[in-house]
Structure 1
Amino acid sequence: MTLLAASLLFLAGFLSGAINAVAGGGTFISFGALSLIGVAPISANASSSIAQIPGYITSTIAYWRDIAGMWRGALLLCGLSALGALMGALVLLALDNPSFRAMVPWLLIAATALFAAGPWLKPKPRDEAGPVHAITGRIVQFLTAVYGGFFGAGMGIMMLATLGITERGDYHRLNALKNMLSIVIAAVAITVFVSGGVVAWREVAFIVPGVACGGYTGVWAARRVPQTVVRGFVVAFGLFLAGYYTVTG
């Protein structure tokens, strides 16, 4: 690996961690950097998922009190999320890189559109939102987990939006549940990816320290940088990646 590639991965990790702390969507950056230095699409997707899991863990710890008050219902959703993530990750490994590469532009466009719509997909306040039928909510979470195991970009925004429809509670309760379920989905997917031998460990070793530094700095940036600026950058980068995969595909 060249010094330039190593520096690019660390910078991508830094930006990814910082953007996740401010507005979410950092997966676009880490996935994009891995793609640009020549990592195969399936390996880039798997490696990017591994790089993000420290942020999921720390976010869940910060919400531990909220989770403690809803652990029974959360356990069932965790089980469904694990099953969905397993299915999504196995489907990914069943594809070859050319097949997955052909899908990536459309996945990126869909995830970018979802991210751009994020402000309009936030959960409604408690007095405006009630839970739909329990079975429907579980099916929706299972399908979201399948997507997360297959292609993680935009998963958090998607899950927060669907939980706002299917679960009762304020934003912080739903965000706590989202973070917990994200750990389950990421852990299952990573286990499958590691067993399948598709993780680019050398590249991950340069991204993870950047994610850690960026996550810490992102707390500072979150108080100073407008989220609209960060969101615009992520959307532009997502569209750039979609164009890149379309042209080079």
Structure 2
Amino acid sequence: MKKDQIFEFFRRLAEANPSPETELEFGNTYQLLVAVTLSAQATDVGVNKATRALFAKVKTPQQMVDLGEDGLKEHIKTIGLFNTKAKNVIALSQILVERYGGEVPANRDAMVELPGVGRKTANVVMNCAFGAETFAVDTHIFRVGNRTGLAKGKTPLAVEKQLEKKVPQPFRVGAHHWLILHGRYICKARTPECWRCPEVDLCAFKDKVLDRGGRKAAA
């Protein structure tokens, strides 16, 4: 995808959704970090269901430590890998209390040192909480980047580097939200809804689905 096409790609997404946001529910930066950590291999809908009651009780790392691992498990047992996630959340909360005064550091390198926090999670928090121009490449963004020709790469990091290089202002802060939502609701994994996609003329995908019935473009 060429430079002018990339600008137009994001212009259209921005026009349709001027203020994109994560679909995870949270009340502060710490809760956001916990929610994103829990969302690995889980849906935002599932995480939100589990965290509503949790976040009504727990708003700080110290409160999470006080709740304890078993107490946390009771809240998140509907989420995949909840045992490991509970252990990591308690451990990262303890570190936040001991090293950072109960605050989430506004630094990606510091964040990825926390238990259970990878680059993608840190990128989400840096973007949503601190307004950083980061690109959290999940399965949706990886698919959209490669399928459309916007940002091709064999790994999430490779796609992230392409996005860092190619996404223009004023779209850099909102870019990862737009791409996630586009992948989640239109450029779906199994049957992309190309027939209603605003980017269809810019997209390099050869097997476009041209109507609701699943008819694909001729080879």
Question: Normalising to structure 1: TM-score of the pair?
Answer: 0.26
Structure index of larger Rg: 2
Instruction: Tell me: higher relative CO, structure 1 or 2? Use CA pairs within 8 A at least 6 residues apart.
Output: 1
Higher helix share: 1
